[in-house]
Amino acid sequence: MHPASKYVLLAVALLFPALASNEYQVYVMATAFVWAIAVYGFNVITGFCGQLNLAHGGFFAIGAYTVGLLTSDAGWNFWPAFIAALFMTAILGFLVGAVSLRLKEHYFAIFTLCVGFIIYLLLDKWEELTHGAVGVRNIAAPDGFGLVNFRETMPVYYLVLFFLVFIIWFTGRIQKSLVGRTFIAIRNGDELAESLGINLMKTKILAFVISTTYAGLAGALYAGMIRFVGPEDGNILLTFNMIMYMLVGGIGTLFGPLIGTVGIVWLTQSLQFLEEYRMIIFGPLLVLLVIFFPLGVCGSFLTWMHRKAQALGLGPKKAKSESKVTTSDQEAKNNA
């Protein structure tokens, strides 16, 4: 990917409300961005660090409920509640991570699946706190400033976009840094990482807390945008949706979560008319993708680009093309 393509993407995102034919499309896009933020968190713990955390959707719901309950029941303003949601998901992430990360691989996945389900049950059954199945209404919208009113679709779109851009930037920084490389070493294998002097538990907990905080951030924005949350927002199925977004886009890549989430959300929208039958199209599509493009859209593209650059480097004018290869590799890496 050319470095300029990042700015093209950003420009398209900034201009999207002007290009959209109606407000509903802007709203759908903003929702997709919120999910994308959560998927970025998923990508940190599962894509980079290799730990399949099936409670991820639960942390999204905790972020949403924290904002919901603090603004509607406790009468807080949105932004303090938003900060509280980040701390809440970070602290709970630390506690859950410290226990669940003692388990490895499938056992970790099964354990976190249970944690996710427990979160869902608490939201649904603990009526005194969460209002049970009725859900939380009258959630405050983000407080605006000047003429900006976040009750309207356009400002909310740009607010969500701002956080999404920040998350992508920060995740990119992590990925390129020694911290991200440490996560990836763990994905390659606990034993190897350990023999390289990496403290497994400390590193995994760090990745876990980053991911749950991202989920909490997404959930908090979701609550401020939809202004209603219910136990179904903690449904385990949402976690599996996020896995799908991540796999389609490209697990472990920087732009995979964005491409996967926005792509699938729009595909879902365009297949609305099929209602529940749309899974007949989705299912086989996903199977084909996993078989033929296990690296996802983004991963397959980057691999293809890299191989092309390498093949060029093996050509006759070796000395000259080699320097060219290194620069394009650098670019590929910057974008990966």
Partner 1 sequence: MLKVEHLTKMFGGLAAVNDVSVDFGANQVNAIIGPNGAGKSTFFNLISGMYQPTSGRILLDDKDVTSMRCDDVARLGVGRTFQTTNLFETATVLDNLIVGYRLRTRSGLWDVLINSKRLQAEEKAAREKAREALDFVGLNHAENRYIADCTQEERKRVAFALALATDPKIVLLDEPAAGVNPEETEGLADLMRKMVKHGLTVCLIEHKMDMIMGIADKIMVLDHGEKIAEGTPQEVKNNPLVIEAYLGSDHDAAA
For partner 1, the binding residues (CB under 8 A) are: 170, 173-174, 177-182, 184-185, 187-189, 191-192, 194-200, 206, 210, 295, 299, 302-303, 306-307, 310, 313, 325-326, 329, 333
Yes or no: say if 228 and 137 are a contact pair by the CB < 8 Å rule: yes
Rounded to the nearest whole angstrom, what is the least distance from the CB of residue 50 to partner 1 in the complex?
Answer: 10
Residue 12, amino acid = V
- DSSP one-letter string for 24-68: HHHHHHHHHHHHHHHHHHHIIIIIIT----TTHHHHHHHHHHHHH
Compute the distance between CA of residue 165 and CA of residue 182 in angstroms, rounded to an integer: 24
**CB-wise, 70 or 186, nearer to partner 1?**
186
C-alpha distance across the termini of the chain, in Å: 8
**CB-wise, 259 or 325, nearer to partner 1?**
325
Long-range Cβ pairs for the range 114-119 (8 Å, 24+): 115/54, 115/55, 115/58, 116/54, 116/55, 116/56, 116/57, 116/58, 116/234, 116/236, 116/239, 117/236, 118/58, 119/55, 119/58, 119/59, 119/61, 119/62, 119/234
**CB-wise, 153 or 321, nearer to partner 1?**
321
Residue 44, amino acid = V
Rounded to the nearest whole angstrom, what is the least distance from the CB of residue 257 to partner 1 in the complex?
Answer: 17
Rounded to the nearest whole angstrom, what is the least distance from the CB of residue 325 to partner 1 in the complex?
Answer: 6
**CB-wise, 12 or 201, nearer to partner 1?**
201
Yes or no: say if 259 and 166 are a contact pair by the CB < 8 Å rule: no
Rounded to the nearest whole angstrom, what is the least distance from the CB of residue 7 to partner 1 in the complex?
Answer: 20
Compute the distance between CA of residue 134 and CA of residue 235 in angstroms, rounded to an integer: 15
**CB-wise, 69 or 305, nearer to partner 1?**
305
For tokens 């976009």, name the residue.
161
121: which 2 tokens?
């049950």
Rounded to the nearest whole angstrom, what is the least distance from the CB of residue 188 to partner 1 in the complex?
Answer: 5
**CB-wise, 41 or 135, nearer to partner 1?**
41
Three-class DSSP category at 331: helix
Rounded to the nearest whole angstrom, what is the least distance from the CB of residue 313 to partner 1 in the complex?
Answer: 7
**CB-wise, 84 or 210, nearer to partner 1?**
210
**CB-wise, 123 or 209, nearer to partner 1?**
209
Compute the distance between CA of residue 52 and CA of residue 97 in angstroms, rounded to an integer: 12
Rounded to the nearest whole angstrom, what is the least distance from the CB of residue 63 to partner 1 in the complex?
Answer: 19
Q: Is 139 left (phi over 0), alpha (psi -120 to 50) or beta?
A: beta
Compute the distance between CA of residue 34 and CA of residue 202 in angstroms, rounded to an integer: 28
Rounded to the nearest whole angstrom, what is the least distance from the CB of residue 305 to partner 1 in the complex?
Answer: 11
**CB-wise, 224 or 260, nearer to partner 1?**
260
Rounded to the nearest whole angstrom, what is the least distance from the CB of residue 68 to partner 1 in the complex?
Answer: 28
